[in-house]
Structure 1
Amino acid sequence: MTKHRPGVNIVPIHGKTPQIHDSAFIAPGCTIIGDVTIGAASSVWYNCVLRADVSRIVIGERTNIQDGSIVHCDPERPGDPEGSPCLIGDDVLIGHLAMVHGCIIADRGFMGLGAIAMNKAFIASDAMLAAGAMLTEGKRMGERELWGGRPARKMRDLDDAAIAGMRMGVAHYAENAKAHAKAVAEADLS
C-alpha cells in the first residue's frame, strides 16, 4: 500500500507507518509522519505536512489537500479520552495553506485557501469554510452552509451552483493529480 515516492518524506514513528493507497498522488516536498491513512485517488500537493505522531489522520478517497497545507491532531487528555484525531472524508477539497487540526471534515466538505479548522470542529457534507476563515474549537457547520470570518460564523446556505462547483473542483484535482504523477515519474528527482 505504501510505495516509494520520489522526493516525499515518509516517517514512521511510535510503531506507526503511513498507509498510502497506491493510486494516491503525493507530491515531492511532502512529509507524512506516523498514523496516517490516505485513500484511493486522493492527492496531497507540494510541500504539505501531515503529522500523526500523537493521534491519527484518516483521509478518504478522491480528496485533495492543496499545496502548503498542514494536517495535525491532538492526543487524549484528562476528560478527553478520544483526543482529537483528524478525520477527512471522501471528495473533500482543502485549499492551499490550510491548517487542519484535530477536526472532522465530512464527505464533500470544502475548506478554503488559508482557512483554519481547530480541534473537534466539524465541516459538514457539501459545506464550505471560506478562504481565510477560522472555525474555532468544537464549532459545527451544517450541511450546505457557508461560514466565513475569524471566528467563523454562518453567512448563508449554498445553492446548487456552488455545490456543483465544488464537485467540479474535486474532479479537476483527481484528473490533474494523474498528470502531476506522470510528470514527477518522468522528472529526475535524485
Structure 2
Amino acid sequence: MNIKKITEMALIRAVKGIHPKIGKNCFFAENATVVGEVEMGDNCSVWFNAVVRGDVHYIKIGNNVNIQDGAVIHCTYQKSPVNIGNNVSIAHNAIVHGCTINDNVLIGMGAIVMDDVVVESNSIIAAGAVVSQGTVVESGSVYAGIPAKKIKSIDTKLLEGQVNRISKSYTMYASWHDPSIEPVV
C-alpha cells in the first residue's frame, strides 16, 4: 500500500527508528494512531480514535483484523507484547494490553484484556468484561463479568461464521471511506 496515502489518513510513525509494517488492503481512519514496532497483516482496519502503540514492545496483528473506534492496543515495557491472530474484531473502546489473542475472536465493546492473558481461538469476550492478568480464555467459550469468567460454551463453527462476518463487514465499511479498499468476499 502507498505509505503516502496512509499517512494522509492517520498518524503512522516510527518510534526509536522502528516503523510500523502494514499489509495490503488496510484502512486507517483520519485520526487513528499506529506507532512503533507494529506488524499488521492484510485486510485490516483501524478506526476513528483507535490507538495501536508499539512503543515499549512489539505488536503483531494477523489478517482480517478490525480495531474499532476508540480501542487501544498497548504493551508492557520489555515484558508483555501483543500478538493478535487472524479474523479478530476488537470492538469500540476495548483495551487490549500485553496479551495474546488467537484466531476467530471477538473482544466486545469496552472490554479490557490485561497482561499475559491468552485468548484461545473461537471465543468471545463480552462487552464490558475485564479479563484479569494471566487468565487463559478457553476455546469455544464466552467470558463475561468483572473479573471475567466463563459463562457458557458456544458452537465454534457458528462463532467462526459470526466473527468472519464481522471481519468482512468492516472491510466493506472501509471501502465506503476509501474506494481503493477491496471488500473481502
Q: Give the structure-2-normalised TM-score.
A: 0.90
The residue identity in structure 1 corresponding to 2:109 is L
Please name the residue that 2:174 is paired with. Answer: 177
Q: Is structure 2 residue 108 aligned with structure 1 residue 109?
A: no
Please name the residue that 1:63 is paired with. Answer: 65
Please name the residue that 2:45 is paired with. Answer: 43
1:110 deviates by 1.1
- Does the 8 Å CA contact 1:147/1:154 hold for their aligned counterparts? yes
Please name the residue that 1:24 is paired with. Answer: 26
Please name the residue that 1:89 is paired with. Answer: 85
The residue identity in structure 2 corresponding to 1:168 is R
The answer to which of 8-17 and 145-154 deviates more is 8-17
- Does the 8 Å CA contact 1:2/1:22 hold for their aligned counterparts? no
Q: Is structure 2 residue 50 aligned with structure 1 residue 53?
A: no
Q: Which has the larger radius of gyration?
A: 1
Please name the residue that 1:121 is paired with. Answer: 117
- Does the 8 Å CA contact 2:47/2:67 hold for their aligned counterparts? yes
Residues 1:108 and 1:162: Cα distance change in structure 2 (over 3 Å): closer
- Does the 8 Å CA contact 1:120/1:139 hold for their aligned counterparts? yes
- Does the 8 Å CA contact 2:26/2:43 hold for their aligned counterparts? yes
- Does the 8 Å CA contact 1:72/1:101 hold for their aligned counterparts? yes
Identity across aligned pairs (percent)? Answer: 35
Distance, in Å, in 2 between the alignment partners of 1:178 and 1:89 is 22
5+ residue gaps, structure 1: 77-82, 185-190
Q: Deviations over 1:54-95 (max 9, x none)?
A: 10011110111101100000122xxxxxx1101111110110
Residues 1:168 and 1:33: Cα distance change in structure 2 (over 3 Å): same
Q: Is structure 2 residue 140 aligned with structure 1 residue 144?
A: yes
The residue identity in structure 2 corresponding to 1:127 is S
Structure 1 residue runs of 4 or more that deviate by more than 3 Å after TM superposition: 160-163
1:146 deviates by 0.2
Distance, in Å, in 2 between the alignment partners of 1:57 and 1:181 is 25
Counterpart secondary structure, 2:179? helix
5+ residue gaps, structure 2: none
Distance, in Å, in 1 between the alignment partners of 2:68 and 2:61 is 13
- Does the 8 Å CA contact 1:2/1:18 hold for their aligned counterparts? no
Distance, in Å, in 2 between the alignment partners of 1:39 and 1:123 is 19
